[in-house]
Structure 1
Amino acid sequence: MESKGQKLTKKDYFKTSLRSYFLQNGFNYTTYQGVSYLNVIMPALRKIYKNDEDKLKETAIANLEFYNTNPHMLPFITNIQLAMYEDDQEIEDVRSIKMALMGPLAGIGDSIAQFGLAPLFSTIFAGLALDGLGFAPMGYWFAMLISMFIIKVLMGHLGYKLGTGAIKTLSAKIGKISEAASIVGVTVISALATSFVKAKIAIEYATTVTVGDEVGEKIVSIQEVLDKIMPNLLPVIVTCVVFYLLKNKKWNTYQLLLLLFAVGILASVTGILA
């Protein structure tokens, strides 16, 4: 049996951190950053599995799935992931950690870049521009580029240190860590589903009610009845159906979009959904 490939060096981890600049290059509506994510880590994977072509293919295919996170936080994720691959951790365990980090780091990265550094530097350099300093627009551009570069390198270093330093120590418990990460991921996805999936039944009917000696009509909303039974029940059902089609029927994003568009338009025209 062929031996495993070479061990990754600090230089390899640093190169992978820099390759995070390519994350948006292969963006598509099927896997979002999935193709580019594989492109970012592919050189390191080739080195790890230099003498195991089957394992390289298996790992590559596993990293072609849907992914969407902040590019500046990506080096933290990739370097932890590569350290786990180097330590021969199971692909599914590595995937759980990878997916669990996607949402939280996306939120942190977006907050730092869009709501922290960008307003700060725009305020500073806008003031300089109003004072007549011609370099101010370019100064803003350079300040953002340098800041983002520092964040990428720092995140890559933290991921490398955490990955190489802690993986071996925690290797016996990596299954439990993976399970916990999966729970976090499912919790986040569930919260997103109930918050962003919009589906409300528009059907209402009138019923006769008697209050004392007075007889009148009351409009009953099916949606209000469902909300009393279980709030956001319909969005959960839609999410479960989509998951079933993806997982069991192997539908792609375009098929799901066509189905949802068709059902949404038809249900809206017929007055079933609001």
Structure 2
Amino acid sequence: MDATQNTKQLDRKTLSHSFHLWFWGALTCFSQEHMQTFGYMSSMLPIIRKLYPNHDDQVKAIHAYTAFFNTNPMLGSVIIGTTASMEEARANGKDIDGETINDMRAGLMGPIAGIGDSLIDGTLIPILLGISLGMSTGGSPVGAIFYIIAWVLIAYFGQRFLYFRGYKFGDQAVGFLVGKQGAAVRRAIGVVGGVLATWVNVTTSFTLRGVDGKVFLNLQSKLDSIYPGLLTVVVTLFCWWLMSKKRVSAIWTMVILVVVSFIGVLLGVFNPGLSY
């Protein structure tokens, strides 16, 4: 019999079921002792049932998800997707056990919580609220409706995207992080990061003000609290994507940057610091 016929693979329906359990129940049975443990466990139940038809195997596999877990619910969906990929690999005989899975999520939940809380709660939500308050002038309900719709769409499709990205690259990511290539790339990132920090500097002057005229959101300060130099990295990766993936010449890449900068200055996103 062909060995591929014995390979266990998660289908789209099972993965979607797992994602929706996390999306709706990440904070299930939330307590100071367990936090999101039961929400995590619930999201893994469809995965376990699909990969392990035998009840005893299911009990043994689900035991890995009884450990404490807590992270940002929105960005944390990438951990759930990565875990699904690792569980699939474990069911197919890969050298992955419950301890490996726990080590992975223990190492990721802290950094993702810090980034997620700053990016979502400290940046995205205040921006949406600022826009909504501006639309609610005079008691109009449009602002509230906009906020509800915008937040639900961003939360759902953002989490779904991260979940399936985590599943798609999870097994490869684990092998990459612990392998020789991962070590080489981490060293290269350090060198490239030093060069970027020295020669490239991209910042934004975008702010939101309240009705009293006081600034209640400084986007650059929020970005610096998440990842100093984040915009510099994003612009660099954008240029690399244009030239490497889209085959755009260096000259046209510079033209695009000039146009983006010009529009950004007009909209108040960038401040060139010029005075006339």
Task: Tell me which interval the TM-score lies in, with the shorter structure as reference length.
Answer: 0.5 to 0.7
- Superposition pairs of residues 242-261 of structure 1, within 5 angstroms: none
Counterpart of 1:83? 85
Correspondence 1:63 to 2:65: yes
Correspondence 1:133 to 2:169: no
- 1:131 deviates by 4.8
- 1:159 deviates by 0.1
Question: Do the aligned partners of residues 10 and 165 (structure 1) sit closer, same or farther apart at CA in structure 2, a change above 3 Å counting?
Answer: farther
CA–CA distance in structure 2, aligned partners of residues 27 and 153 of structure 1: 22
| Alignment equivalent of 1:116, drawn from 123, 128, 140 | 123
Counterpart of 1:73? 75
Counterpart of 2:47? 44
Normalising by structure 1, report the TM-score: 0.56
- 1:122 deviates by 0.8
CA–CA distance in structure 2, aligned partners of residues 146 and 60 of structure 1: 31
Q: Which amino acid aligns with 1:58?
A: K
CA–CA distance in structure 2, aligned partners of residues 59 and 98 of structure 1: 15
| Alignment equivalent of 1:162, drawn from 154, 158, 169 | 169
CA–CA distance in structure 1, aligned partners of residues 136 and 127 of structure 2: 14
| Relative contact order higher in (CA < 8 Å, ≥ 6 apart) | 1
CA–CA distance in structure 1, aligned partners of residues 117 and 6 of structure 2: 38
- Superposition pairs of residues 1-274 of structure 1, within 5 angstroms: 6-21=8-23, 22-51=25-54, 53-88=55-90, 89-166=96-173, 173=179
Gaps of 5+ in 1: 178-274
Asked whether the 8 Å contact 1:78–1:159 carries over to 2, the reply is: yes
Question: Do the aligned partners of residues 137 and 30 (structure 1) sit closer, same or farther apart at CA in structure 2, a change above 3 Å counting?
Answer: same
CA–CA distance in structure 1, aligned partners of residues 56 and 7 of structure 2: 13
CA–CA distance in structure 1, aligned partners of residues 101 and 166 of structure 2: 14
Gaps of 5+ in 2: 91-95, 184-276
Give CA deviations for 1:4-53 in whole Å, capped at 9, x if unaligned: 894212332233222212011211222111122101111111111113x3
CA–CA distance in structure 2, aligned partners of residues 105 and 172 of structure 1: 19
- 1:144 deviates by 1.1
Question: Do the aligned partners of residues 166 and 102 (structure 1) sit closer, same or farther apart at CA in structure 2, a change above 3 Å counting?
Answer: closer
Question: Do the aligned partners of residues 63 and 4 (structure 1) sit closer, same or farther apart at CA in structure 2, a change above 3 Å counting?
Answer: farther
- 1:161 deviates by 1.6
Give CA deviations for 1:145-176 in whole Å, capped at 9, x if unaligned: 11111220121121012125545x659959x9
Aligned residues: 172
Aligned residues: CA RMSD: 2.7
SS at match of 2:136: helix
Identity across matched positions, percent: 25
- 1:120 deviates by 0.6
Question: Do the aligned partners of residues 109 and 4 (structure 1) sit closer, same or farther apart at CA in structure 2, a change above 3 Å counting?
Answer: farther
Asked whether the 8 Å contact 2:19–2:160 carries over to 1, the reply is: yes
Q: Which amino acid aligns with 1:17?
A: F
* Larger Rg over CA atoms: 1
Q: Which amino acid aligns with 2:146?
A: G
Give CA deviations for 1:183-214 in whole Å, capped at 9, x if unaligned: xxxxxxxxxxxxxxxxxxxxxxxxxxxxxxxx
- 1:141 deviates by 1.5
CA–CA distance in structure 2, aligned partners of residues 100 and 107 of structure 1: 12
SS at match of 1:87: helix
Normalising by structure 2, report the TM-score: 0.56
Q: Which amino acid aligns with 1:57?
A: V
Asked whether the 8 Å contact 2:22–2:42 carries over to 1, the reply is: no
Q: Which amino acid aligns with 1:118?
A: I
